[in-house]
Amino acid sequence: EPEVTQTPSHQVTQMGQEVILRCVPISNHLYFYWYRQILGQKVEFLVSFYNNEISEKSEIFDDQFSVERPDGSNFTLKIRSTKLEDSAMYFCASSGISGRSEQYFGPGTRLTVT
Amino acid sequence: TQLLEQSPQFLSIQEGENLTVYCNSSSVFSSLQWYRQEPGEGPVLLVTVVTGGEVKKLKRLTFQFGDARKDSSLHITAAQPGDTGLYLCAGEPRPSNTGKLIFGQGTTLQVKP
């Protein structure tokens, strides 16, 4: 069964460093998303991406964040200068043309900023 | 700001009992999803409901979308220890057409053998 994959599973970085989180969405999906979940809190929407551009972004997704689909398979989230409060699980999700809201999530990347 | 409130937040029951988890909002949603999440893993999609009043069944799980599309429920019949986990509801708010999902805070279910 097709699934969303994410790498790395755990990333430790120092405050101020840049990180890139990578995702491979399900191959025939067209809509891509990033969410995050701070430990013990709700899953929060960060950004949606369709047709090579951002469809919507949340207040969390400030100028330090960017997304890119560099080729036909990868979808990346870059944080330019990490802060302690960026520590969280980051989930990539994708959905197909038949059900935009029917989103399939990857296993997540645990980002720890020290 | 659209919010989804889940209740109860924590539920501990004996194997064989029935239970219902609620997901409520004052806002209308285009669709509503139920996910299950294990510790340290991503949410796993269980079901999507899109029509007001819709009822979907997945083995012992019954999902309902409210007529006004503001609420949903998950009913489990004859719960088993394997049902233990975190259940999340998530909705696509109207009039958003970007796929953005709003999540509830989750219901932690513990089924004791």
Which chain B residues in 60-99 lie under 8 Å from chain A, judged by CB atoms?
Answer: 88, 90, 92, 96-99
pLDDT of residue A62: 93
What mean pLDDT is reported for chain A?
A: 94
Our count of domains for chain B comes to 1
The mean per-residue pLDDT over the stretch A83-103 comes to: 92
Q: Are B74 and B87 in contact (CB under 8 A)?
A: yes
Residue in B40, B88, B92 nearest the CB of A43: B88
Helix (H, G, I), strand (E, B) or coil at B49: strand
CATH class of A5-113: mainly beta
Q: Write the burial class of residue A43 (CB in 10 Å: 0-12 exposed, 13-18 middle, 19+ buried).
A: buried
Cα–Cα distance, A55 to A113 (Å, whole number): 28
| DSSP track, A48-110 | EEETTEEEEE-TT--TTEEEE--SSS-EEEEESS--GGG-EEEEEEEE-TT-TT--EE---EE
Q: Is the pLDDT of residue A1 over 80?
A: no
pLDDT of residue B98: 87
Sign of the CA dihedral with A95 first, then A97, A98, and A99 last: positive
pLDDT of residue A113: 98
Domain boundaries, chain A: 5-113
Bridge partners of residue A27, in order along the sequence: none
Which chain B positions have a beta carbon within 8 Å of A99's beta carbon?
48
Q: Is the pLDDT of residue A98 over 80?
A: no
Contact A42 B41 (CB under 8 A): no
pLDDT of residue B97: 80
Low-confidence ranges of chain B (pLDDT < 50): none
Helix (H, G, I), strand (E, B) or coil at B9: coil
Q: Which domain holds residue B49?
A: 5-112
Contact B99 A4 (CB under 8 A): no
pLDDT of residue B105: 96
For residue A21, what pLDDT band results from cuts at 50, 70 and 90? very high
pLDDT digits (tens, 9 = 90+) for A44-87: 999 999 999 999 999 999 999 999 998 878 999 999 999 999 99
Q: Report the CATH number that the domain containing residue B71 is assigned in CATH.
A: 2.60.40.10
pLDDT of residue A101: 82
Show the tokens assigned to B2: 């659209």
